[in-house]
Amino acid sequence: MTMALVLDASLVLLIVGIATWTVVVRDAFPAIAGYAVYGLLLALAWVRLAAVDAALTEAAIGGGLTGVLLIRAAVRLRSTEAAARAESPGPLFRLFAALLAAGFAALLAIVILGLPDPAPTLTPEVAENMAVTGLGNAVTAVLLAFRAIDTLLEAVVLVFALIAVWTLTPDDYWGGRPGPKYATDPDGLLAYLGRLLPPLGIVVAIYVFWIGADLPGGKFQAGTLLAAMWLLTIIAGLQDPPPVSRRWLRGLLVLGTVVFVAIGFAGWPLAGYFLAYPESHAKPLILVIEAASMVSIAVTLGLLVVGPPERSNGS
Amino acid sequence: MNMLNLYALCGAALVGLGLYGLLAVPHPLRKILSFNLVGSGVFLLFGVIARRGAGHGLVGDPVPQALVITGIVVAFSATALAVALLLRLHDETGAVSLAAPESGRPPAA
């Protein structure tokens, strides 16, 4: 066994171990803390699988944003945990569930270990056509050129998810500010971090966005980082999220999709079909779409974590 | 046992663990967490498939990698919606039980 394989085996054991912990541990808090660590370990697994773009996304979303989202929910649902424990299924049901889950996992393992060799792949097609896009990062080329329609629809899904979250607003608070008002010590550690980190985070996010054309990075990773910085200033009590009725806010939410669709339609007269880029201008157009999408993704992800309005406009 | 098989087994195990949590853990927030385990296990299988397709100067097939990136973001938005539904249920009823209401009586309005 080589050294690298020992490393991989330890990483896999750690990941499976922490995943087991998040399922079996008694309270919600340690489970969610475990999940955040799990997200970071999974990002390492992605690095080992040579998918650094996915690693960055997993670390930022799996380790960061999902953790913040679940911790906030766990705080508010703390009183319900005892009642839920009383509803725990009996040993027979648990045994049945374990057998079913193990059987399904075994089936998946058999299928994936028996995949044909050499693996079917679209790599040659991507490598052949990448020069046309002017991009150096193959993943960005797939996201923004070859499969741009998927990425466009995904941007729409994000906005729909936020609309669905907002529909859960109690009538009295419609149009108001989302989330509770955070009052923290203005000289405390959180407020200090809230002032210190965002300028650095914004610079790193713009860098991650900019290099995304040629190296691992891009609008999702950068947008998530911007959302995290925004959330930090909100939780530190340094600023309040804007009321959801604000027109500029709604404009920012759909900016990425609107720019994407507009450039998509411009592809018809300019390059022959929807979402086609004229060859000489592919890269600048992709960067414009990415920049607009990054802003929309950051605002949407941030608001998804904060949740529906919980206060009227003034408070 | 090569490295890719190791991560493939890891992905399959995560799907199994998440599935068990989804069935056997009663609290809905924990069920949401378990569902995310299933999702990340599936994504990891995609990662293995992407790595298997390496070649032509690329370290992995970028198509499944791109799918995983969109997948992670969409999974997050679905999680946020599920959490928002759960919190609203809690605000309305004070409980988050998924147990069926007692037979013969409609749930309290």
pLDDT tens, A92-148? Answer: 999 999 999 999 999 999 999 888 878 788 888 888 888 888 788 888 888 888 888
Among the ranges A53-57, A233-237, B14-18, which has the highest mean pLDDT value? B14-18
pTM: 0.90
Q: What is the pLDDT of residues A140-193, one digit of tens each?
A: 888 888 888 888 999 999 999 999 999 999 888 888 888 888 877 778 888 888
Indicate yes or no: CB of B29 within 8 angstroms of CB of A70. Answer: yes
B8 to A119: CB separation less than 8 angstroms, yes or no: no
CA–CA distances in Å: residue A35 to residues A6, B59, B75: 24, 28, 15
Q: Name the average pLDDT for chain A.
A: 88
Q: Kindly state the average pLDDT of the residues B28-57.
A: 91
Mean pLDDT confidence for B40-52 = 92
Testing the interface with A: which of B65, B68, B96 to mutate, by most A Cβ within 10 A? B65
Tell me, what's the pLDDT at B35?
94
Q: Above 80 in pLDDT, residue B99?
A: no
Closest to A139 (Cβ–Cβ): which among B3, B17, B65? B65
Say if the Cβ atoms of A58 and B5 lie within 8 Å: no
Interchain contact, B62 vs A141, CB within 8 Å: yes
Taking a contact as any Cβ pair under 8 Å apart, which residues of chain B between 55 and 74 contact chain A? 55-63, 65-70, 72-74
Query: How close B34 comes to chain A (CA, Å)?
Result: 7
Q: What is the pLDDT of residues A53-87, one digit of tens each?
A: 899 889 889 888 999 999 989 998 888 888 888 88
Categorize the per-residue pLDDT at A305 as very low, low, confident or very high, splitting at 50, 70 and 90: very high
* pLDDT for residue B93: 84
Structural domains for chain B: 3-93 (1.10.287.3510)
